[in-house]
Amino acid sequence: MEQVKINNKDIIIMNLTHYFITEQNYNPVIVHGINDEIWLENMNSDYKIIRIVSKYIHNNEQLNFDKFRSRQITKKLKKKTFSFKMNVLNIYIDLGDNVTNISSEDNKDVSVFISKVSDIGKSVMKEIFPDIVEKTRHEEKGMDFLFKITDDINVSNEKKNKTMEKIFSSKKPIITYIIMALCLLMFIITGMGVNTLTLVRYGANVGSLVKSGEVYRLITYMFLHAGIIHIFFNMYSLYVVGPRVEDFYGRWKFLLIYIFSGISGGLLSVSLNGDAISVGASGAIFGLFGALLYFGYNYRGYIGSMIKSQILPIVIYNLVIGFFISGIDMWGHVGGLIGGILTSYMLGTIENKKYSFSNILVFLIYFGFLIYLAIFR
């Protein structure tokens, strides 16, 4: 059987695409109106976008126009994915002899010219991706090479799809329901929360009592509510946002986010509200909004539009309205939001198995500072 030959340009494209998808966790991006280019994205990489450009570019004018168009498309992707910075690695496969200056006009993007596989080891890409030479070296030839590349990419995509399915699939929100049940039970026990002294007796957050040693109030207050309207709105909010956060982070991480968000809100309230009596789950619920913001930012390639259209407007609206309505513990909301973001930052989502020392350190410094302000200052 005659061996099928694949031209040099296709070998380079398949090698690079295979490497970035299977080894560097990049995903293809669909860019409408673009031909002879492959766009890949990885929101966690220093170079969030990689372009593999296979079309023939004859001279510097065509190259400059190509870079200009790339920057315009990148600007749209930045808005879509809620990214503040998006560095691009442009890989050109077919440049004419009249192209004399391939270097970028700024320090943000990098452009390289790869005319054969061996050029990969001579380019700046080896500095960015140290293992690229080893991982793009294949013994297979012809159709065997094509089949291997295709199979590897399919296996990688299947793993990614299973991970995304695990994260985004709907699960039974057991912890959310348990928290709601505890809040409703305490609402009944405290006589619907109409008596302030009863709420204090059962664990309302009061600055002077917390400072005197009753630190348990930083947890118990988030399960108490003052009146039917108060508990209705909080339980409705928890019913809406709780299951999503529990899906994205898993049950035990969700519980930790909820508790630490409530503690963060309680500590900031004690620090800035003095001896005001504070009850309610809203600080912890704002922490869940913070967890959604953190999750949305890290998975903005999947739900970037939802951050801007749904999550952010709800958070901003609830924060702003708290400044104009009396009786709302605004600092508890702010503390809960910050606590939710930082706890999520420390724990990571449901797929994270390892914890970064720097993330834990930031979390400990924040809570240590709050404890100092609320109790020891």
Instruction: State the DSSP H helix or E strand holding residue 375, giving kind and residue range, or none if neither.
Output: none
Residues of the domain holding 97: 8-165
Q: How much is the pLDDT for 1?
A: 41
CA-to-CA distance for 124 and 188, rounded, in angstroms? Answer: 67
Residues 287, 310, single domain; the answer is: yes
d(CA 291, CA 303): 14
Q: Supply the CATH number for residue 350's domain.
A: 1.20.1540.10
User: Looking at the structure, do residues 159 and 223 belong to the same domain, yes or no?
Assistant: no
Q: Sign of the C-alpha dihedral, residues 91, 97, 98, 103?
A: positive
- CB-based contacts of 212, cutoff 8 Å, min separation 6: none
Residue 366: half-sphere exposure toward Cβ, Cα within 13 Å: 23
Pair 13, 121 in one domain: yes
- pLDDT tens-digit profile, the chain (377 residues): 445 566 778 888 888 888 888 888 888 887 776 778 889 888 878 888 999 998 888 888 888 888 888 888 888 887 777 677 888 999 999 888 888 877 655 556 888 888 887 888 778 888 888 888 888 887 777 677 777 778 877 777 777 777 777 777 778 899 999 999 999 999 999 999 889 999 999 999 999 999 999 999 999 999 999 999 999 989 998 998 999 899 889 899 999 999 999 999 999 999 998 788 999 999 999 999 999 888 887 776 666 566 666 677 777 777 777 666 667 888 999 999 999 999 999 998 777 766 778 889 999 999 999 999 998 88
The tally of domains found in the chain comes to 2
Distance CA 195, CA 23 (A): 61
Catalytic residues: 282, 333
96 and 200 in a single domain? The answer is no
Q: Tell me the C-alpha distance between 349 and 186, whole Å.
A: 31
What tokens does 157 get?
């995509």
Residues 165, 44, 122: CA angle, nearest 5 degrees:
120
> Residue 2: its pLDDT value, please?
47
Last residue in a domain, options 108, 139, 165: 165
